[in-house]
Structure 1
């Protein structure tokens, strides 16, 4: 996990960018890290049924993007004089451009746009989170249910290397914010071999369940390594994605690993982290097993 690179905030100029920028600035200040503001312009050649042609008005888009980023940087330097801010216009497809930046970044921050009904992350956020080389924060908020001042940072663990990295990132985030950390392990239902749906996990005492013992070990390690951090452990029998989204509702932050198939098996699979990204109503950080 890098701690020496910039916090990169990707902006698209929409109204939601203001929330994304505020979140990214707060994160950079907490980490005492430089801030890099970027905006991507896909000026690659486009193909139609008839011919290849370049995007019209590419120079205008570039100028507009530079002016937009310069305005944001100017405001930040006025309100955060100690914060080092740089700007960059990216040319090309958004996902590859951001993936390239993620190699040297310590955090990549994106916005998520709420749709009618449940808040969902667009395809760009999902693809960037899947391919980035650093943790990716997808920022959203529920205006009707803002996080309480004592809201916890929530992280899912499943014994995989990705979830252990996620636990480390979550502990650091909770410590920097002065908030408690809630470690969640969910045992998913077992598919019924007779096709009648699913059945609950086998009932075993917590002390006899190896997955629960492993979760206790993770929580205890985080307490030991992060003096003063309050660590809570939630052991639930539920679909992992539903458990994380439910227990993460109203959280200050939700942290997930990008892959699973660890000793707990079933938690934080690609499908689970994808579901959490799509359904959560709070900011989500996705962590890969490379940190």
Structure 2
């Protein structure tokens, strides 16, 4: 059976935007859409709790009916699960094609103020996760993907090329590089080494991107190498993009899984939907 697109729902404006985005994505993929609402209270025998539960169930079923015309021919299902939201989403993510979550709106700077559930799911999910802002509408701009040449990025590039192909959108592939710091920078600049450094990055860039261009000749690709801070440059490059795709390295520390600085900047400061794709 085709893996579903799964969207978290809680009745908030952010989850309304996320479920609508998820329905359109399910239509593009020709796959099922599953709406999931977590109900973390184990008992419903407290006064008023059964009525609240029924209201939540009715609201979820209504949302599923509203989305069926957008979701195409695939089935649309909905379920309330009696568990912690992050745990529920992490569990379904093991068999999902994609998880879609709403953001909590604009922060004091600009971009996402990501909630604790989203943060946990982003760190732990085994499938790609897309964050959607409440007022977000997909623009006519390109799909943008950030490329890290220090690690294999096939899963990230596969997702980005597929997203661009399904949308019939151009794809912009960006790698941000920084020269060595301090005395190393001065020495390299003196002997013309920075140009050589950029040439090496260009060769590695082409090595990663070329096979995917050959697999998707229908996708118009623009490739950019930008010198600077990866977090700042990628946030700026995402202005006008319809979707930003970034990688999330699957790694563990003594404190548990965590997001890298580029992914962290993207989910907090980028206005368009952001897809985080796990990779090795």
Which TM-score bucket, shorter chain as reference? 0.7 to 0.9
Q: TM-score, normalised by structure 1?
A: 0.81
Instruction: Report deviation, 1:187.
Output: 0.8
Correspondence for 1:63 among 54, 61, 72? 54
Instruction: Report deviation, 1:206.
Output: 6.4
- Secondary structure of the 2:13 match is coil
Correspondence for 1:245 among 235, 241, 250? 235
Correspondence for 1:232 among 211, 217, 222? 222
Between stretches 88-97 and 173-182, larger displacement belongs to 88-97
Residues 126, 277 of structure 1: 8 Å contact kept: no
Task: State whether structure 2 residue 121 is matched by structure 1 residue 123.
Answer: no
1:159 corresponds to which residue?
149
Instruction: Report deviation, 1:218.
Output: 2.2
Work out the CA distance in 2 between the residues paired with 1:191 and 1:208. Answer: 15
2:129 corresponds to which residue?
136
Question: Number of matched residues?
Answer: 267
Shift of the 185–67 alpha-carbon distance from structure 1 to 2, 3 Å rule, reads same
Q: Which runs of 5+ in 2 are unaligned?
A: 252-258
Shift of the 272–107 alpha-carbon distance from structure 1 to 2, 3 Å rule, reads same
Shift of the 275–6 alpha-carbon distance from structure 1 to 2, 3 Å rule, reads same
Work out the CA distance in 1 between the residues paired with 2:148 and 2:176. Answer: 8
Residues 189, 239 of structure 1: 8 Å contact kept: no
| Alignment RMSD | 3.0
Residues 207, 213 of structure 1: 8 Å contact kept: no
Work out the CA distance in 2 between the residues paired with 1:260 and 1:236. Answer: 25
- Secondary structure of the 1:233 match is strand
Residues 111, 267 of structure 2: 8 Å contact kept: no
1:56-102 deviation digits (Å, cap 9, x = unpaired): 74433322221111101122335656231111102221111100000
Task: State whether structure 2 residue 41 is matched by structure 1 residue 43.
Answer: yes
Q: TM-score, normalised by structure 2?
A: 0.84
